Amino acid sequence: MSETPPIRLFVAPVTPLQQNCTVVWCTKTNKAAIIDPGGDLDPILEEIQRRGLTVEKIWITHGHADHAGGAAELKERTGAPIEGPHEDDQFWIDTIPSMGQRYGIADMRSFTTDRWLTDGDTVTLGETTWDVIHCPGHTPGHVVFYHAPSQFAQVGDVLFKGSIGRTDFPLGNHADLINAITKKLWPLGDVRFVPGHGPMSSFNVERQTNPFVADSVVSNAGPNTHGPG
């Protein structure tokens, strides 16, 4: 008889931008974290209730509106504290209402986090402990949530199946993003991950096939790997 895994999850694409809001929970306690609640909270909370879970934490990878626009309302509705992102994303948190209007997403609000996160921090969920990895580039304050025992990560918009995060937004930095992926994520091994948009993948698959950060691409790029900025 196989052992119950320490965590389980479901993914709910939200907002017109189809951002992956991920709900993870500790299977021993049924305490859940909602990662990147960009909006469309009602069906997510209904599914949490249906599964008999309790919302313990709200985790934010970065301050873009489609990832964090529902955090303030979610905290009001659940009482759960908000953890993340890194404080360097305050600029983006402040822009959430205006960005929501730009994309036609009503009721998006900025929020005040209960805990800024930085590289090397840990966060807890039920009886599980997660590592926080600061991965700037897409935004300066982007963090990744990594559960080592499960070899699972929620990487937000750092990395996607077959792609990487955009760096042409204000405060984006291509060199920082490539460094974060290759120096901080790849050493973790064959970790499966949920990205901010699109299907799941794994670090090993992306190291072999991703046209932006595969080992062959990075090694062949030489000193210009990190681009102009």
pLDDT per position as a tens digit, 179-202 = 999 999 999 999 999 999 999 999
Contact at 8 Å (CB) between 123 and 130? yes
Predicted confidence (pLDDT) at residue 225 exceeds the cutoff of 60: no
Predicted confidence (pLDDT) at residue 2 exceeds the cutoff of 90: no
Kind plus residue range of the DSSP H or E element containing 56: strand 54-59
- Mean pLDDT (whole number) for 101-117: 92
User: Cβ atoms within 10 A of the Cβ of 106, count?
Assistant: 8
- Nearest CA to 103 among 142, 67, 62? 67
What pLDDT shows up at residue 87?
98
Predicted confidence (pLDDT) at residue 95 exceeds the cutoff of 90: yes
DSSP helix/strand/coil, 110: coil
Of 9-18, 68-77, 177-186, 220-229, minimum mean pLDDT range:
220-229
The percentage of residues in the chain with a pLDDT greater than 90, rounded to a whole number, is 90
- Mean pLDDT (whole number) for 100-106: 84
Predicted confidence (pLDDT) at residue 227 exceeds the cutoff of 60: no
What pLDDT shows up at residue 61?
98
Predicted confidence (pLDDT) at residue 1 exceeds the cutoff of 60: no
Predicted confidence (pLDDT) at residue 229 exceeds the cutoff of 60: no
- Whether the pTM exceeds 0.85: the reply is yes
- Mean pLDDT (whole number) for 214-222: 81
* pLDDT, the chain, mean: 94
Give the chain's radius of gyration (CA, Å): 17
Q: What is the DSSP letter of 126?
A: T
Cross-strand partners of 146: 131, 153
User: What structural domains does the chain harbor?
Assistant: 7-219 (3.60.15.10)
Q: For the segment 140-157, what is each residue's pLDDT rounded down to a tens digit?
A: 999 999 999 999 999 999
Verify cis geometry, omega within 30 degrees of 0, for the bond prior to 85: yes
What pLDDT shows up at residue 125?
98
For the chain, how are helix, strand and coil distributed in percent, rounded to 5? 30, 25, 40
